[in-house]
Amino acid sequence: MLLLLASTTLVDNDELKAIVEADDIQSMAEFAAALNVSVKTKLVHLRQIGKIKKLDKWVPHELNDRQCKVRVKTCLALINRHTNEAILNRIVTCNEKLILFDNCKLSASWLDPGSAPKQCPKRKHTPRKVMVTVWWSSAGVLHHRFLPNGVSITTYVDYEELNTMMEKLAHLQPALVNHSSSLLLHVNARPHAAQQTVSKLQELGLEAVRHPPYSPDLVPTDYYFFQNLDNFLAGKKFNTREAVQNAF
Helix (H, G, I), strand (E, B) or coil at 82: helix
Q: 187 or 239: whose pLDDT is higher?
A: 239
Residue 24 has pLDDT above 70, yes or no: no
pLDDT in tens, 44-57: 877 777 777 666 55
pLDDT over 90, % of the chain? 12
Exposed, middle or buried, 122 (CB in 10 Å: 0-12/13-18/19+)? Answer: exposed
Most confident segment among 54-63, 78-87, 213-222: 78-87
Region 176-181: mean pLDDT is: 66
Chain mean pLDDT for the chain: 78
* 25 and 73 share one domain: no
Instruction: Please name the helix (run of DSSP H) or strand (run of DSSP E) that holds residue 5, with its range, or none.
Output: none
Beta strand 52-55 with 108-111: parallel, antiparallel or unpaired?
A: antiparallel
* 73 and 188 share one domain: yes
- The pLDDT of residue 8 is 39
- The pLDDT of residue 106 is 63
Euclidean distance between CA atoms 68 and 213, whole angstroms: 10
Residues 6+ apart with CB under 8 A from 62: none
Give the CATH number of the domain where residue 15 resides.
Answer: 1.10.10
Virtual CA dihedral for 183, 186, 191, 194, nearest 10 degrees?
Answer: 40
Contact between 24 and 111 under an 8 Å Cβ cutoff? The reply is: yes
Residue 110 located in a structural domain = no
Virtual CA dihedral for 232, 236, 237, 243, nearest 10 degrees?
Answer: -40
* 75 and 35 share one domain: no
Contact between 183 and 81 under an 8 Å Cβ cutoff? The reply is: no
Give the CATH number of the domain where residue 157 resides.
Answer: 3.30.420.10
Region 14-41: mean pLDDT is: 71
* 74 and 37 share one domain: no
Which one, of 132, 103, 131, lies nearest residue 234 by Cα?
Answer: 103
* 15 and 94 share one domain: no
Helix (H, G, I), strand (E, B) or coil at 129: strand
Euclidean distance between CA atoms 217 and 187, whole angstroms: 11
* 76 and 21 share one domain: no
- The pLDDT of residue 37 is 75
* 164 and 201 share one domain: yes
Residue 113 located in a structural domain = no
Residue 114 located in a structural domain = no
- The pLDDT of residue 211 is 80
* 127 and 23 share one domain: no
* 97 and 212 share one domain: yes
Residue 225 located in a structural domain = yes
pLDDT in tens, 49-80: 777 766 655 545 677 888 888 888 988 998 99
pLDDT in tens, 182-213: 788 887 666 566 677 778 888 888 888 888 77
Instruction: Please name the helix (run of DSSP H) or strand (run of DSSP E) that holds residue 47, with its range, or none.
Output: helix 39-48
Euclidean distance between CA atoms 26 and 34, whole angstroms: 10
Q: 157 or 13: whose pLDDT is higher?
A: 13
pLDDT in tens, 112-138: 777 777 666 565 555 688 999 999 988
Contact between 13 and 48 under an 8 Å Cβ cutoff? The reply is: yes
pLDDT over 70, % of the chain? 74
Contact between 171 and 210 under an 8 Å Cβ cutoff? The reply is: no
Residue 112 located in a structural domain = no
Euclidean distance between CA atoms 67 and 70, whole angstroms: 5
pTM above 0.85, yes or no: no
- The pLDDT of residue 242 is 94
Q: 239 or 219: whose pLDDT is higher?
A: 239
| CA angle, 167 then 94 then 98, to 5° | 115
When divided into structural domains, the chain yields a total of: 2
- The pLDDT of residue 127 is 62
* 96 and 13 share one domain: no
- The pLDDT of residue 76 is 92
Residue 166 located in a structural domain = yes
Region 138-154: mean pLDDT is: 83
Residue 233 located in a structural domain = yes
Domain ranges, residue 170: 65-105+122-247
* 44 and 150 share one domain: no
* 226 and 139 share one domain: yes
Residue 56 located in a structural domain = no
Residue 111 has pLDDT above 80, yes or no: no
Euclidean distance between CA atoms 197 and 159, whole angstroms: 6
